[in-house]
């Protein structure tokens, strides 16, 4: 845990110092909202359409963060330094997934208000706790799978292609569950509580992927 | 090129054994490929504790690959390696904290300061923070320790890299061109940390074969990934050096 904290602290410090990832993610999310606003020629969306647009917006922005997650390790020798240390290799997974989770939370602090501003879903305020719950579960899936995929992609020459090619199919169940879970929360007659079925799907998906990533991550770092 | 003294050799093993008889580095039949290209072929040697092995050879001879294998960053494809009494790669985890690697890359984050980088490495190796200050002073970098690494000259970065490599007091130092970019003053500063007097077992490569020979107990000359010479520095003459780098 101390090792994971050391890596996490270093990653957050690097991001604060360089501001390379989170601002780009936020910018892309806001621009996507603007594009949907004008592309659909609508001032307000509701139901599954609103949920789909929000999910896709967050997905696009998340891919930027996923692609950049290990770049400093690859380009500045961070992998070698870490592999030379007598530490548990899964600390890297824990730290990177937590860093990505933090990036996603910050992204949503900007993207959700932008979504509300440009595409004004009904009753977002009253549904907000449910929306937050769904997004947090979705973020865990993005963080775990994103870290796993990014660790594979960064070791290849075509890393910008590999991330989406492997990541998107793996994220599909989480994306579907997020969109279907958000849909009822963004309707005019929203009850305010998220559908239990999709919460369970997201929760289970998070758990299974976290265990799988934990089991195989060690091998990803091996020569 | 002579390959006398290459060995498999009892003579070599005897000559390099440490005080307790167990070598710090023992290679037998080490081979490594990259794709279809064999970068190291059938290397065997033994190096005693506290001794220095100079690895010579032209660019692409396999020197850096050998160092990366010894650092446990690459796996051998054939042969056996015993480092500090532990077999690689099976027991690599047991030696990682006892190896210091100073390679071509400084392994420092450009956007962190020298102190922040060393603090990060100290946390990975569970080293007390006071050691950082001691090392910053030893490499003459206290005044610039809070500047981002990207703002430092190449020589200053190399001094920080030396501090990073010895932070955890490794018993085995793997030094790939350790004095590159260092001016004579900086070279003297780092001498107690990575030089002969550091008392660590050292495997070093150098662009300057004569300087490497001067501090070696054993010399391994590589040519095309094969052993061209293995033996004492006294067995290496100018003709051999010229052939090796021709």
Residues of B in contact with A9 (CB under 8 A): 120
Per-residue pLDDT tens for A56-71? 999 999 999 999 999 8
Per-residue pLDDT tens for A165-215? 888 999 999 999 999 999 988 887 767 688 899 999 999 999 999 999 999
Q: What is the dihedral of CA B213, B218, B221, B226, to 10 degrees?
A: -170
CA distance B148 to A72: 15
Q: What is the pLDDT of residue B21?
A: 64
- Domain annotation covers residue B171: yes
Q: How many CB atoms lie within 10 A of CB A156?
A: 11
Pairing of strands B226-231, B218-223: antiparallel
CA-based nearest residue to A204, from A137, A147, A139, A149: A137
A157 Cβ under 8 Å from any chain B Cβ: no
**Distance in Å, alpha carbon of B229 to nearest chain A alpha carbon:** 29
Flag whether pLDDT at A120 surpasses 50.
yes
A106 Cβ under 8 Å from any chain B Cβ: no
From the list B74, B105, B120, the residue facing A10 with the nearest CB is B120
Q: What is the pLDDT of residue A138?
A: 96
CA distance B54 to B238: 16
Task: Choose the mutation target among B81, B107, B161, B167 for the interface with A, i.e. most A CBs under 10 Å.
Answer: B107
CA distance B200 to B231: 20
CB contact under 8 A, A86 and B120: no
Q: Please identify among residues 44-103 of chain A the ones whose CB lies closer than 8 Å to any CB of chain B.
A: 72, 76-78, 80-87
- Domain annotation covers residue B210: yes
CA distance B213 to B52: 10
CB contact under 8 A, A81 and B148: no
Number of domains in chain B: 1
- Domain annotation covers residue B232: yes
Flag whether pLDDT at A99 surpasses 70.
yes
Q: First vs last Cα of chain A: how many Å apart?
A: 24
CA distance B200 to B102: 14
pTM for this one?
A: 0.88
Write out the residue range of the structural domain in which residue B199 sits: 50-71+97-244
Q: Collect all residues with Cβ–Cβ distance below 8 Å to B223 and sequence separation of at least 6.
A: B1, B57, B58, B61, B244
CB contact under 8 A, B109 and A72: yes
**Distance in Å, alpha carbon of A82 to nearest chain B alpha carbon:** 8
Q: How many CB contacts within 8 angstroms connect chain A with chain B?
A: 69
- Domain annotation covers residue B25: no
Q: How many CB atoms lie within 10 A of CB B208?
A: 11
From the list A14, A84, A223, the residue facing B99 with the nearest CB is A84
CA distance A139 to A114: 18
- Domain annotation covers residue B36: no
CB contact under 8 A, A85 and B116: no
CB contact under 8 A, B101 and A78: no
Per-residue pLDDT tens for B139-182? 999 999 999 999 999 999 999 999 999 999 999 999 999 988 88
CA distance A96 to A102: 10
- Domain annotation covers residue B86: no
CB contact under 8 A, A77 and B74: no
Residue labelled with tokens 């054994």: B17
CB contact under 8 A, B74 and A223: yes
B34 → chain A, closest CA residue: A223
CA distance B42 to A5: 42
CA distance A10 to A162: 26
Q: Please tell me what DSSP assigns to residue A214.
A: H
Backbone φ and ψ for B94, nearest 5 degrees, come out as: -80, -20
**Distance in Å, alpha carbon of B166 to nearest chain A alpha carbon:** 12
- Domain annotation covers residue B90: no
B123 Cβ under 8 Å from any chain A Cβ: yes
Residue numbers of chain B with a pLDDT score lower than 50:
1-19
Task: Choose the mutation target among B94, B102, B117, B120 for the interface with A, i.e. most A CBs under 10 Å.
Answer: B120
B69 → chain A, closest CA residue: A223
CB contact under 8 A, A14 and B111: yes
Residue labelled with tokens 């997201």: A202
CB contact under 8 A, A84 and B73: yes
CATH code, B115: 3.40.50.300
Flag whether pLDDT at A107 surpasses 80.
yes
Span A160-169, average pLDDT: 87
ipTM: 0.86
DSSP result, B82-147:
EETTEEETTTHHHHGGGEEEE-SS----TTSBHHHHHHHHHHHHT--THHHHHHHHHTT-STTTTS
Q: What is the pLDDT of residue B176?
A: 92
- Domain annotation covers residue B28: no
């Amino acid at each position: 845990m101390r090792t994971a904290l050391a890596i996490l602290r270093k990653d957050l410090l690097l991001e604060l110092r360089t501001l390379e990832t989170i601002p780009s993610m936020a910018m892309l999310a806001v621009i996507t909202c603007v594009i949907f606003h004008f592309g659909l020629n609508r001032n307000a969306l509701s139901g599954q359409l609103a949920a789909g647009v929000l999910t896709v917006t967050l997905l696009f922005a998340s891919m930027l963060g996923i692609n950049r997650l290990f770049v400093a390790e690859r380009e500045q020798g961070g992998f070698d330094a870490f592999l030379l240390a007598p530490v548990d290799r899964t600390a890297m997974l824990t730290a990177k997934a937590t860093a990505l989770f933090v990036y996603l939370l910050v992204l949503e602090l900007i993207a959700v208000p932008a979504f509300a501003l440009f595409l004004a879903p009904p009753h977002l305020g009253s549904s907000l706790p449910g929306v937050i719950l769904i997004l947090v579960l979705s973020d865990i899936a993005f963080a775990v799978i994103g870290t796993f995929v990014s660790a594979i992609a960064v070791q290849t020459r075509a890393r910008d292609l590999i991330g989406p090619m492997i990541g998107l199919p793996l994220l599909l169940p989480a994306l579907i569950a997020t969109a279907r879970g958000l849909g009822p929360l963004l309707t005019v007659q929203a009850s305010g509580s998220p559908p239990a079925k999709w919460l369970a799907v997201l929760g289970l998906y998070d758990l299974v992927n976290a265990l799988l990533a934990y089991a195989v991550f060690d091998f990803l770092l091996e020569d | 090129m002579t390959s006398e003294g290459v060995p498999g050799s009892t003579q070599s093993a005897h000559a390099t054994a440490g005080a307790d008889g167990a070598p710090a580095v023992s290679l037998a039949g080490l081979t490594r490929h990259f794709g279809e290209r064999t970068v190291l072929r059938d290397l065997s040697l033994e190096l005693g504790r506290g001794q220095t092995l100079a690895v010579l050879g032209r660019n692409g001879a396999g020197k850096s690959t050998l160092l990366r294998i010894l650092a446990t960053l690459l796996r051998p494809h054939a042969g056996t390696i015993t480092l500090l009494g532990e077999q690689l790669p099976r027991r690599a985890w047991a030696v990682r904290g006892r190896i210091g690697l100073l390679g071509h890359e400084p392994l420092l984050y450009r956007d962190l300061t020298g102190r922040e980088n060393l603090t990060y490495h100290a946390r990975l190796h569970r080293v007390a923070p006071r050691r950082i200050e001691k090392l910053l002073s030893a490499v003459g970098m206290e005044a610039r320790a809070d500047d981002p690494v990207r703002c430092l000259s190449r020589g200053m970065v190399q001094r920080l890299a030396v501090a990073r490599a010895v932070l955890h007091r490794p018993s085995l130092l793997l030094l790939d061109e350790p004095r590159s970019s260092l001016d004579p003053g900086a070279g003297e500063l780092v001498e107690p940390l990575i030089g002969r007097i550091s008392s660590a077992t050292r495997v070093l490569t150098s662009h300057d074969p004569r300087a490497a020979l001067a501090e070696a107990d054993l010399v391994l000359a590589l040519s095309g990934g094969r052993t061209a010479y293995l033996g004492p520095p006294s067995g290496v003459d100018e003709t051999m050096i010229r052939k090796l780098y021709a």
